[in-house]
Structure 1
Amino acid sequence: MTAIAGILLFASFFFLMFFGAPIAVAIIISSILTFMLIMPFDVAILASAQRMVTGIDNFTMLAIPLFVLSGIVMNNGGIAFRLINFAKVLVGRLPGSLAHTNAVGNMLFGSISGSSVASAAAMGRIMTPMQNAQGYKTTYSAAVNIASAPTGLIIPPSSLLIVYSLVSGGTSVASLFVAGYVPGILWGIAVMIVAYFIAKKEKYEVSPMPGARDVLYIIWSAVPSLLLIFIVIGGIVGGVFTATEGAAVAVVYSVILSMIYKSIKLKDLPAIFKETVDITGMILFLITASALFSLVMSYTGLPQAMSEALLSLTDNQYGILLIMIFILLVIGTFMDITPAVLIFTPIFLPIAETFSMDPIHFGMIICFALCIGNMTPPVGSVLFVGCSVADVRIEQVIKPLLPFFAAVIVVLLLITFIPQLSLFLPQLLGL
């Protein structure tokens, strides 16, 4: 029965996806069809409805719409230029300094906004003309922007890590947030290393360093925006408030800061709220659908069966991890990150736990691997946005992206096989 249920569940899911059904709809229909295989129709519908409602009945879940709202306010709040100028101060003396500025800007702006797409769009619109004016190849500029934009999904505060916390059975959000710093920063450094060697080869310019007074002004201008990270993460890690309360603090802070900058007015708020509702509705619909999907898998014993099948291939921990990474990289190329995390965490986490792997460490692996799909075709949203703002075709940027892709894969392998890269900071802080 387990084998038949598994075939029906995944075959119907991919069949619906192939014919263009939204992912959440495909998940719900395939789950109900599988339920109907093992129980009467009325019971299957009732159980499905109950699970979908209880799947989002969680206080921590409130952090998602609040962080989304904070990110949208920040996106419209005029902070991109301030962070770019701050990034120039940090990396302005490196060869190809504008490319490094783009990468550091994405790390900063992405973590504050919580959106890799918004980061790629904001940084690309500002940095691409500047790089073109200094003789950078547009495809190179686009590749750096695309490759570095997903770092904001790993560096906290991150809604993706909150989603993983929920679907993994309540892994500490504070621990996941702290654990995300090293992998996210290593991703950005890997992009910068590749950019450095390409810049040396192409003899790209080093930007002139501003004077001491200008440096102090730039740092002072960026401090209010950067304080958001310290206030929210510091408060959550320090136990001052929960992740949900921290998200609420982020909203209040971002609104006040944007109004001080005079980049947002009261009349702009309805449009911002509407955008928040649109994005949040999509995320919560995916979460409620995945809750049903997880119930069906648990009821039919599919995770255990898949675990046994995978372990039958090899009992070597590293071999199993390599197989899972390969699957996640493939999945990431054609599925959005959030539904992929929701679907594959319940499948792969029990397998990882058979090797006594820490769920925080595994969370870094699955989120990192799936974020790579953001920069790959055919559904890489950052790839599309990055090419659009740079006005280049996707096929033109694939080749320049390859060395960055290889560097990020190396970082993925490092955080997979060196657990302390993810666990050192949470352990240091006693989380």
Structure 2
Amino acid sequence: MEYIPIIVLVLSFIGLLSIGMPVAWSIAISSVLTMLVSIPALPAFTTVSQRMGTGLDSFALLAIPFFVLSGQLMNKGGIAHRLIAFAKTLVGSLPGGLALINVIGAMLMGAIAGSAMASASAMGSILGPEMEKEGYSREFGAAVNITSATTGLVIPPSNILIVYSLASGGVSIAALFLAGYIPGILTGLFLMLVASFWAKKKKYKVGKRSSLKQVLKAFIDAVPSLFLLVIVIGGIITGIFTATEASAIAVLYTLVLGFIYKEISFKSLPEILLDSSATTAVVMLLIGASMSMSWVMSYENIPQNISSTLLAISDNKIIILLLINLILLFVGIFMDMTPAVLIFTPIFLPVVTALGMDPIQFGIIMVLNLCIGLCTPPVGSVLFVGVGIAQTTIQKVVKPLLPMFLAMIVALFLVTYFPQLTLWLPSLFDL
């Protein structure tokens, strides 16, 4: 009997997704069906709807709409152009220079905006045509853009790390933000190595070396944009303000910067606000539905049953972590990142903590895992954005994507089995 709720939950969720039901509604309906196993219909519907409402009743979640808005303001406010110009002076003369610029630009953009979609959109539209003009294949450019855009979900500030903090029962957001730096940069470096090797093999054109004067000029132009990092992360770490307050400051800063750069006007603000509201609404609906499913799973003891099953398979930490990684990689292919974090954190966190893993490290592992899913069909939102901007097809992008996936998986397994890659920076600040 104890496995009936799990069977109902999994089969109803997969069945609803397979007939084209939106993810949020699939989660909510399968939660109700699972509750019907134990209680009558009226309490089941009432409980799930209440849990959707209370799941959104969190001060930390206020950071998400603000960071979404700051990402939109960055995208429209000329900040991406300046970050790309700075990256160009650093690596433009290396093999695959424009591809490396894409990776560094995405890492910088992600470190400020915290949005993979914003990064893929900005880098693809600005660098895509330039790469094609220099002889790079359209598909290679799209593959680099798609995979590098996800580094911004690990490098702070990151909305998904805030969601993980909520799902894990209050792991420090400041500690998670600091923990994301080394894994995010490591992933970016591996992507750069693969991109450089591929470009050398295909004999793509190499750019001219920038002079020290050009590097300094590009850096000075980019300083106001990069300073946002100092304000947001510095303020959170030193305790001057919370992550939510930092997100509001990020909006104010990027808005002022957009007006100073004369890339944003009062006329363009309504469109930016509407786009941000639409993105936020989708994310919040997913969070509400996922929180209800998390509660249902807890009520039916599903996490405990899965945990005991996993630990019964083996007590070897390496084997269990390998299994969890494989499951999350599979989940990421079919499920969006936000519900995946909210649903699977309560399931796997007790398992890894029983094995002695720090919840901070597991948060980064989970996000890195699901980043790969964003680049794969059928649910890969960043894949669709990157392919759409490059005006190519998924079938053509698959070949150059495969070595990029390999680079991301290598980074993931290093982070999984070497805890200090995530825990060193938080430990420096006693977080």
Residue in 2 that maps onto 1:278: 278
Residue in 1 that maps onto 2:31: 31
Structure 1 residue 367: deviation in Å?
Answer: 0.6
The yes-or-no answer on 1:161 pairing with 2:161 is yes
Q: Deviations over 1:253-274 (max 9, x none)?
A: 0110001111111122222221
Residue in 2 that maps onto 1:238: 238
Q: Deviations over 1:4-46 (max 9, x none)?
A: 1111122111111111111111111111122122123332233
Larger mean Cα displacement after TM superposition, 212-221 or 157-166:
212-221
CA–CA separation in structure 2 for the residues paired with 1:44 and 1:387 = 42
Residue in 1 that maps onto 2:322: 322
Structure 1 residue 114: deviation in Å?
Answer: 2.0
For 2:118, the aligned partner's letter is A
Residue in 2 that maps onto 1:110: 110
CA–CA separation in structure 1 for the residues paired with 2:61 and 2:128 = 37
Q: 1:91 to 1:48 in 2, by over 3 A?
A: same
Structure 1 residue 392: deviation in Å?
Answer: 2.1
- Residue pair 2:12, 2:30 contacting (<8 A) in 1 also: yes
Residue in 1 that maps onto 2:414: 414
CA–CA separation in structure 1 for the residues paired with 2:181 and 2:86 = 19
The yes-or-no answer on 1:94 pairing with 2:94 is yes
CA–CA separation in structure 2 for the residues paired with 1:335 and 1:34 = 19
Structure 1 residue 115: deviation in Å?
Answer: 1.7
Residue in 1 that maps onto 2:196: 196
For 1:93, the aligned partner's letter is S
Secondary structure at the aligned position of 1:2 is classed as coil
- Residue pair 2:66, 2:248 contacting (<8 A) in 1 also: yes
Residue in 2 that maps onto 1:75: 75
Secondary structure at the aligned position of 1:267 is classed as coil
- Residue pair 2:167, 2:346 contacting (<8 A) in 1 also: yes
Secondary structure at the aligned position of 1:118 is classed as helix
Structure 1 residue 200: deviation in Å?
Answer: 2.3
Q: Deviations over 1:223-242 (max 9, x none)?
A: 11111111101100110100
For 1:137, the aligned partner's letter is S
* Structure 2 segments unaligned to the other structure (5+ residues): none
Q: Deviations over 1:265-294 (max 9, x none)?
A: 112222222122211111111111111111
Residue in 2 that maps onto 1:354: 354
For 2:189, the aligned partner's letter is I
For 1:346, the aligned partner's letter is P
CA–CA separation in structure 2 for the residues paired with 1:237 and 1:140 = 38
Secondary structure at the aligned position of 1:205 is classed as coil
For 1:280, the aligned partner's letter is T
Query: Which consecutive segments of 4 or more residues in structure 1 shift more than 6 A?
Result: none
For 1:257, the aligned partner's letter is L
The yes-or-no answer on 1:147 pairing with 2:110 is no
For 2:178, the aligned partner's letter is V
Structure 1 residue 376: deviation in Å?
Answer: 1.6
The yes-or-no answer on 1:224 pairing with 2:216 is no
For 2:362, the aligned partner's letter is F
The yes-or-no answer on 1:213 pairing with 2:220 is no
CA–CA separation in structure 1 for the residues paired with 2:94 and 2:288 = 47
CA–CA separation in structure 2 for the residues paired with 1:378 and 1:10 = 18
Structure 1 residue 421: deviation in Å?
Answer: 0.4
Structure 1 residue 306: deviation in Å?
Answer: 0.6
The yes-or-no answer on 1:293 pairing with 2:296 is no
Structure 1 residue 133: deviation in Å?
Answer: 2.1
Structure 1 residue 408: deviation in Å?
Answer: 1.0
* Structure 1 segments unaligned to the other structure (5+ residues): none
Larger mean Cα displacement after TM superposition, 205-214 or 53-62:
205-214
Residue in 1 that maps onto 2:256: 256
The percentage of counterpart residues that share the same residue type is: 55
Larger mean Cα displacement after TM superposition, 402-411 or 130-139:
130-139
Q: Deviations over 1:351-379 (max 9, x none)?
A: 11111211100001111000111112222
Residue in 2 that maps onto 1:48: 48
- Residue pair 2:96, 2:199 contacting (<8 A) in 1 also: yes
Q: Deviations over 1:127-147 (max 9, x none)?
A: 122222222222222221122
Residue in 2 that maps onto 1:403: 403
Q: Deviations over 1:292-331 (max 9, x none)?
A: 1111111111101011111222111111111111111111
CA–CA separation in structure 2 for the residues paired with 1:98 and 1:77 = 22
Residue in 2 that maps onto 1:310: 310
Q: 1:47 to 1:387 in 2, by over 3 A?
A: closer
Structure 1-normalised TM-score? 0.97
The yes-or-no answer on 1:337 pairing with 2:337 is yes
For 2:158, the aligned partner's letter is S
Aligned-pair RMSD on alpha carbons? 1.3
CA–CA separation in structure 1 for the residues paired with 2:236 and 2:105 = 24
Q: Deviations over 1:68-94 (max 9, x none)?
A: 111111111111211111001221232
Residue in 1 that maps onto 2:385: 385
Aligned residues: 431
Residue in 2 that maps onto 1:375: 375
CA–CA separation in structure 2 for the residues paired with 1:128 and 1:46 = 49
The yes-or-no answer on 1:424 pairing with 2:424 is yes
Larger mean Cα displacement after TM superposition, 99-108 or 49-58:
49-58
Q: Deviations over 1:321-358 (max 9, x none)?
A: 11111111111112111111111111111111111211
Larger mean Cα displacement after TM superposition, 238-247 or 262-271:
262-271
Structure 2-normalised TM-score? 0.97
Structure 1 residue 388: deviation in Å?
Answer: 2.1
Structure 1 residue 119: deviation in Å?
Answer: 1.1
For 1:138, the aligned partner's letter is R
